[in-house]
Amino acid sequence: MQKTRHRVLDAIADGPVPGPALADRLDVSRAAVWKHIEALRDAGFSIDGGDDGYELVSIPEFGGEAVEFGLDAPFEVEYHDTIPSTNDRARELADEGREDVVVLADEQTGGRGRLDRAWTAPSGGIWLSILLRPTVPPADAPAFTLAAAVATTRAAREAGVDAAIKWPNDVLVADGDGGQRKLTGILTEMEGEADRVSWVVVGIGINANVDAADLVDGATSLRAENGDVNRRVFTQRVLEEFHELRSNLDSVVPAWRDLADTLGRRVRVDTPGGEVVGEAVDIEFPGTLVVETDDGTVRVSAGDCEHLRPV
Ligand code: BTN
C-alpha cells in the first residue's frame, strides 16, 4: 500500500482539504494527519493550513520525500545532506536485506569511482546508489550499468544537454574542440554466487548544479552546459527510465546503441588481458564491446576505453 504520507500529499495537491475530511479519507486519526503534515513541512514541503484546510503549495527541490512524491517507479529514497559514499550506505542496506532502495545525497565526502579512484562529489550534485536484488546470473550484471548510463543520458537530453555514452558507462558531452568532458560516472558493485546475483548496487554520480571548477579536470556539469536543473525532477526521470530498463533487460543494449558515442570510433581499451586498439563496431548483451582490430575481431567485456582521433 502507498505510504500514508504520500496519500496525504496526493490528497492536498489539488486544493485545500480540511483535516477531519483528510483523516476520514485516509482512515487515520486527526493527530496522525497533523503528524504527517508537520513531518512534510520539516522535509521542506510548503503546506498552507487555512480555514479551508491543508493545501500543498510547493515541493522542495531535493530530498527523499520530494523525489518519492510522484515518482513512477517502486523505489524508496533515503536522503542524506552529506554522507561519505552512497554506495557504501547502499551496501550496508544490502547487508540488512533491503531492496529497491535508493540512497541519495547532496554531497559525498568519500565518493568512490572505478579502479579505486576517488570521485569528487560537492554539494549541488546528484549522487545516488540504487540497491537491487535481480534474479539474474552475475554475468548479466553489466547490463545494469549500461541501463544507468542510458537512463542518465536520456534525462540529460531532456534537460537540454547533448550527452552521449562512452563505453561502457561514462556519460560525456562534447567540448566543442574535438574533445569530451565527463558529466556522469557509474560504479556498479555486486555480491552473488556462481549462478545468481544476491544484490547489485548501481552508483550514479551526476555533476548537476555544481561549478565545473569544483570538479576534476576534464569534467563538466549540467550547470556548466545548460544552467541549473530541478534535481528532484531530474532524479525522478533517471529512476523512472532505469526502472523501465531493468524490468526488461533485453531492451538495454538497443537503447544503449542509440545513445552511444563509441560505436564507429577508433578506440584503445585497456583490458585485464592487455591493450586492444581498433574500431568499435558494436555492443552485445550484457555490454561486450566488439572491436575490429588489425588482427581480427576482439570482444571486450571490461576495461578502460579511450576514444582516439581518426587516423
Ligand atoms: C567513475 O569512476 O566514473 C564512477 C564514479 C561513480 C560515482 C558515484 S557517486 C554515487 C555513488 N557513490 C559513490 O561513492 N560512487 C558512486
Atom of ligand 1 at shortest distance to CA of 90? Answer: 12
Over 90: is that where the pLDDT of 22 sits? yes
> Mean pLDDT, to the nearest integer, of 9-28?
93
Q: Is 87 in the pocket of ligand 1 (CB under 6 A)?
A: yes
Over 60: is that where the pLDDT of 240 sits? yes
Closest residue by CA, ligand 1 atom 16: 203
pLDDT 10s digits, 35-66: 999 999 999 999 999 899 999 999 999 999 99
Q: Is 127 in the pocket of ligand 1 (CB under 6 A)?
A: yes
Percent of the chain with pLDDT over 90: 90
Domains of the chain: 1-58 (1.10.10.10), 64-258 (3.30.930.10), 265-307 (2.30.30.100)
Quote the pLDDT of residue 2.
59
Q: Is 125 in the pocket of ligand 1 (CB under 6 A)?
A: no
Over 70: is that where the pLDDT of 124 sits? yes
> Mean pLDDT, to the nearest integer, of 109-129?
96
Instruction: Report CA(121)–ligand 1 centroid distance (Å).
Output: 9
pLDDT 10s digits, 247-276: 999 999 999 999 999 999 999 999 988 999
**Ligand 1 pocket check: which of 80, 82, 87 to mutate, most ligand atoms within 8 Å of Cβ?**
87
Q: Is 185 in the pocket of ligand 1 (CB under 6 A)?
A: yes
> Mean pLDDT, to the nearest integer, of 219-236?
98
HEC sequence for the chain: CCCHHHHHHHHHHCCCECHHHHHHHHCCCHHHHHHHHHHHHHCCCEEEEECCEEEEEECCCCCHHHHHCCCCCCCEEEEEEEECCHHHHHHHHHHCCCCCEEEEEEEECCCECHHHCECCCCCCCEEEEEEECCCCCHHHCHHHHHHHHHHHHHHHHHCCCCEEEECCCEEEEECCCCCEEEEEEEEEEEEECCCCEEEEEEEEEECCCCCHHHCCCCECCHHHHHCCCCHHHHHHHHHHHHHHHHCCHHHHHHHHHHHECCCCCEEEEEECCEEEEEEEEEEECCCEEEEEECCEEEEECCCEEEEECCC
Q: Is 188 in the pocket of ligand 1 (CB under 6 A)?
A: no
Quote the pLDDT of residue 29.
93
| C-alpha cell, 97 | 536485506
Instruction: Report CA(178)–ligand 1 centroid distance (Å).
Output: 26
**Ligand 1 pocket check: which of 79, 91, 115, 119 to mutate, most ligand atoms within 8 Å of Cβ?**
119
Between 310 and 200, the more confident residue is 200
- Please tell me whether the overall predicted TM-score, pTM, comes out greater than 0.85 for this model: yes
Quote the pLDDT of residue 3.
81
Q: Is 221 in the pocket of ligand 1 (CB under 6 A)?
A: no
**Ligand 1 pocket check: which of 112, 184, 270 to mutate, most ligand atoms within 8 Å of Cβ?**
112
Name the burial class of residue 254, with classes exposed (0-12), middle (13-18) and buried (19+) by CB atoms within 10 angstroms of its CB: exposed
Q: Cα 90 vs. chain centroid, distance in angstroms?
A: 13
Atom of ligand 1 at shortest distance to CA of 128? Answer: 10
Quote the pLDDT of residue 172.
97
pLDDT 10s digits, 157-198: 999 999 999 999 899 999 988 889 999 999 999 999 889 999
pLDDT 10s digits, 146-155: 999 999 999 9
Quote the pLDDT of residue 5.
86
> Mean pLDDT, to the nearest integer, of 106-123?
96
Question: Position of cell 586492444?
Answer: 276
CA distances from 169 to 47, 159, 184, 264, 278 (A): 40, 19, 8, 17, 19
Q: Is 111 in the pocket of ligand 1 (CB under 6 A)?
A: yes
Of the pLDDT bands very low, low, confident and very high (cuts 50, 70, 90), residue 1 is very low
Instruction: Report CA(246)–ligand 1 centroid distance (Å).
Output: 19
